[in-house]
Chains A and B, each alone.
With several copies, the nearest count.
Chain A
Amino acid sequence: MKDKSSDVKKVTGRPDLRLLSLGMYCPGCHYGIITRVICEVIEELGVAGKAIGLAGVGCSFGGAPMTIDIDWTSCPHGRAPAMATAIKRIYPDAMVLTVQGDGDLGAIGLGCFMNALVRGENLTTIFLNNAVYGTTGGQMAPTTLLGMKTTTTPLGRDIQTNGYPLHVPELAATMRGVAYAARCTVHTPANFQKAKKSLKTAIQKQIDGIGYGIVEFVSACPPGWGLKPLECLDYISERMLEEYPLGEFKNVDKTD
């Protein structure tokens, strides 16, 4: 084993911003990987000192503030965008970030989120789409796939009773105050890199004062899906991405 330290470069490890904590996530939860994405992007942009994070209620609630070394507040369920609005209005130089699940942003918080877009706030939102309410035990979320079984859709989600899955960045892209909207995953190394780029772009839009940026992460919830961590990867490729295509839905340098 070569071992002289002069010959060795650490290529990756725990990011500086990533706090040591006995992870708040279940084994194989992609939120852990997304945490790395967030840390690395904030480090690369050099904005850790200006960053104020707002964690929604959901697994992000415990996870994000406990694992990323910036200022944080948790928020009442679904209300991060309103809280972020006030913070950003008062401290326009801060980098204000909300991290919200699909129940948090897509259900209870949909109005709060949409109204922040109407007001044309200059914020960044990380939207965690695991297609279920992970924290509370795997109930249906607005993003649950058609036919997917959850604890409140025991026979699978059907259109008649529960409507269609919600596409958040596509929806956001239609709003004039939005500067950036994209969907990504971290379920392969290549996608991990793309996700970093997306998030970086979104935050840059905020820094440049252009407008709202939202990045959806399609991510696995092994207990919520009743699958093993590795099975989840296939489920993402085969099922989730069919409903939730990856890509940028909006990327503008000036809102109109």
Chain B
Amino acid sequence: MPRGRIEIIEEYCKGCQLCVKFCPKDCIEISTDKINPNGYLLPIFVSEDECTGCGICGWMCPECTIDVYRYIEN
């Protein structure tokens, strides 16, 4: 059951892949064809089920362009 999810504001992404590298659950992959207007290959959030909403990808994004949400049990 998914515990979190992320949103990448693609406009500001520079395709550095740090998010890809640091997600402990391998939820992010780099695409091979999705390019933003600045010409950068974009990462894709591929594994919603695994995401724990740990926030790490957000911290490590140099462009601060990932929002991370965690689902709360109420």
Residues of chain A having any CB pair with chain B under 8 Å: 1-2, 6-15, 18, 20, 22-23, 25-33, 35-36, 186, 188-189, 192, 229-230, 233
Contacts and interface: CB of A to CB of B under 8 A. Distances in A.
A9 B69 contact: yes
B40 A27 contact: yes
B18 interface: yes
Contacts of A28: 14, 16-18, 62
B61 A11 contact: no
Given A1-B5, A11-B53, A32 B70 contact: no
B55 to A, nearest CB: 4
A15 B66 CA distance: 11
A27 B71 CA distance: 31
Contact of A11 (B17, B48, B70): B70
A1 to B, nearest CB: 7
A231 to B, nearest CB: 11
Contact of A32 (B56, B64, B68, B71): B64
Contact of B18 (A9, A35, A230): A230
21 contacts: A6-B74, A8-B70, A8-B71, A9-B69, A9-B71, A10-B69, A11-B55, A11-B69, A11-B70, A12-B59, A15-B64, A18-B64, A22-B12, A27-B15, A27-B40, A28-B16, A29-B62, A186-B60, A189-B22, A192-B60, A233-B21
Contacts of B53: 11
Interface string B15-32: 111100110000000000
Contacts of A11: 4, 53-55, 58, 68-70
A32 B61 contact: yes
Contacts of B18: 28, 33, 229-230, 233
Nearest to B57: A12
B68 A229 contact: no
Nearest to B69: A8
Given A229-B17, A230-B21, A23 B72 contact: no
A157 to B, nearest CB: 27
A7 B63 CA distance: 27
A27 B16 CA distance: 5
Given A1-B48, A23-B63, A36-B64, 10 more contacts: A2-B2, A9-B70, A11-B55, A11-B69, A12-B66, A13-B67, A14-B64, A14-B67, A27-B40, A32-B61
Contacts of A29: 62
Contacts of A230: 16-18, 21
A186 to B, nearest CB: 8
B16 A229 contact: yes
